[in-house]
């Protein structure tokens, strides 16, 4: 095991996979940083420090710094993938899917099925998502809600450095397109990461991070930590929460959710995306259909309201889920009837 930051887990996994497989290529805006400047390539290696040193090691045919052209970046990732490469493309902010949605949705997601299974599109699209920096409505969004609903995409949301390592390696070696969502507020968090160069975490396997038995809380990414904190607080009062980290929203580990809810009879989904037509609504429908007889209370969701993300500190923190809001939801499901 090695202790490392979430962002270093991203970088080291890409580095290792590029060393292992010459078909892995990286592209994105400022992924080299400093191209065409006095400081030269790598003057600033990517704004999230998730590509530092790749260019120096693997050169310009495998590490491609692009102009500000998201449609061309994601389209080129599609073309690279159709032509036998394993592109790892970066969108600097997840919000920028708005610019290149066609390439993600009508192209990359559909090739394998639409072409009768005869092509594979092993593209990884990484993007930094999430609020908490007062970066306002166009630089803070959680986009898994949109992308998970698109048939053809696998969607990964790691919450820890170890999961970054295991899931990103799986993503790069996977033969289908994978959306890899990195929460901005997790980049500087640290954790133990296995050293095994083939350490992989299969998609569709959730992780039970707290076992309590009274209430099931399901989450992903940054909010998982808030769920755990709420669970720990409540445990002190003798209230036991199962906390489930989905890890991937597509494929979905239905079994892990249903197994837990069959015991607890109570589900709370905690999500950073808006409330309508999203992950939380989806999982609540799942238990309503498949665990109906176990339910002791209506499944609840803790999400932001149905508004764009506001700028001011007071507004953003009122907007976002919090430990208090999660705790309150747990008390509400327990108080039901």
Ligand X SMILES: Cc1ncc(C[n+]2csc(CCOP(=O)(O)OP(=O)(O)O)c2C)c(N)n1
Contact call for residue 323 and other proteins (CB under 8 A): no
Q: Which is nearer to ligand X, 98 or 202 (CB)?
A: 98
Count other Cβ atoms within 10 Å, centred on residue 333.
22
Whole-number minimum distance, CB 15 to other proteins, in Å?
20
Q: CB–CB of 184/268 below 8 Å? A: no
Q: Which of 8, 17, 29, 228 binds other proteins (CB under 8 A)?
A: 29
Which residues are registered as beta bridge partners of 90? 28, 126
Helix boundaries (H) for the chain:
6-20, 54-58, 70-82, 97-102, 111-114, 144-148, 161-173, 221-235, 254-264, 279-290, 313-319, 323-335
Whole-number minimum distance, CB 55 to other proteins, in Å?
12
**Number of residues engaging ligand X in binding (CB under 6 A):** 6
DSSP code, position 277: T
Whole-number minimum distance, CB 74 to ligand X, in Å?
12
Among 98, 41, 45, 52, which Cα is nearest to 71's? 98
Mapped onto helix, strand or coil, the DSSP state of residue 117 is coil
Q: Which of 82, 99, 229, 297 binds ligand X (CB under 6 A)?
A: 99
Q: Which residues of 183-222 are buried (b: 16+ CB within 10 A; e: fewer)?
A: bbbbbebebebeeeeeebbebbebbebbebebbbbbbbbb
Q: Which is nearer to ligand X, 29 or 214 (CB)?
A: 29
Whole-number minimum distance, CB 242 to ligand X, in Å?
39
Residue 178 has φ and ψ, to the nearest 5°, of -130, 130
Q: Which is nearer to other proteins, 42 or 176 (CB)?
A: 42
Q: Which is nearer to ligand X, 92 or 217 (CB)?
A: 92
Contact call for residue 101 and other proteins (CB under 8 A): no
Contact call for residue 65 and ligand X (CB under 6 A): no
Whether residue 139 lies in the annotated active site:
yes
Instruction: Please list every residue from 41 through 80 that binds other proteins, using CB under 8 A.
Output: 43-44, 47, 65, 67-72
Contact call for residue 101 and ligand X (CB under 6 A): no
Residue 67 binds which of ligand X, other proteins, none (CB < 5-8 A, kind-dependent)? other proteins
Catalytic residue numbers, as ranges: 139
- The residue ranges that bind ligand X (CB under 6 A) are 29, 68, 70, 92, 96, 99
């Amino acid at each position: 095991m090695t202790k490392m930051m979430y962002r270093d887990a991203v970088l080291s996994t890409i580095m290792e996979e590029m060393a292992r497989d010459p078909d892995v290529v990286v592209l994105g805006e400022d992924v080299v940083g400093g191209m065409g400047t006095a400081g030269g390539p790598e003057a600033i290696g990517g704004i999230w420090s998730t590509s530092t040193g790749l260019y120096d090691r693997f050169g310009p045919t495998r590490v491609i710094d692009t102009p500000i052209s998201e449609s061309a970046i994601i389209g080129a990732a599609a073309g690279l993938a159709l032509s036998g490469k394993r592109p790892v493309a970066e969108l600097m902010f997840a919000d920028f899917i708005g610019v290149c949605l066609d390439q993600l949705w009508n192209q990359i997601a559909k090739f394998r099925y639409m072409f009768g299974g005869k092509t594979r599109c092993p593209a990884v699209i990484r993007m930094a998502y999430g609020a908490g920096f007062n970066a306002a409505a166009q630089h803070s969004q959680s986009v898994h809600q949109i992308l998970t609903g698109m048939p053809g995409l696998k969607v990964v949301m790691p919450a820890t450095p170890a999961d970054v390592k295991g899931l990103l390696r799986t993503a790069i070696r996977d033969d289908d397109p994978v959306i890899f969502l990195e929460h901005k507020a997790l980049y500087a968090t640290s954790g133990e990461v296995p050293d095994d160069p083939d350490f992989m975490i299969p998609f569709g396997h959730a992780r039970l991070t707290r076992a309590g038995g009274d209430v099931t809380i399901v989450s992903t990414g940054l909010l998982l930590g808030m769920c755990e904190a709420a669970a720990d607080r409540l445990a002190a009062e003798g209230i036991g929460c199962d906390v489930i980290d989905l890890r991937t929203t597509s494929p979905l580990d239905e079994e892990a959710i249903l197994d837990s809810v069959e015991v607890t009879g109570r589900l709370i989904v905690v999500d950073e995306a808006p409330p309508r037509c999203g992950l939380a609504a989806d999982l609540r429908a799942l238990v309503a259909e498949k665990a109906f007889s176990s339910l002791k209370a209506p499944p609840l969701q803790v999400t932001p309201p149905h508004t764009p993300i506001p700028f001011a500190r007071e507004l953003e923190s009122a907007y976002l889920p919090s430990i208090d809001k999660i705790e309150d939801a747990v008390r509400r499901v327990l108080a039901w009837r």
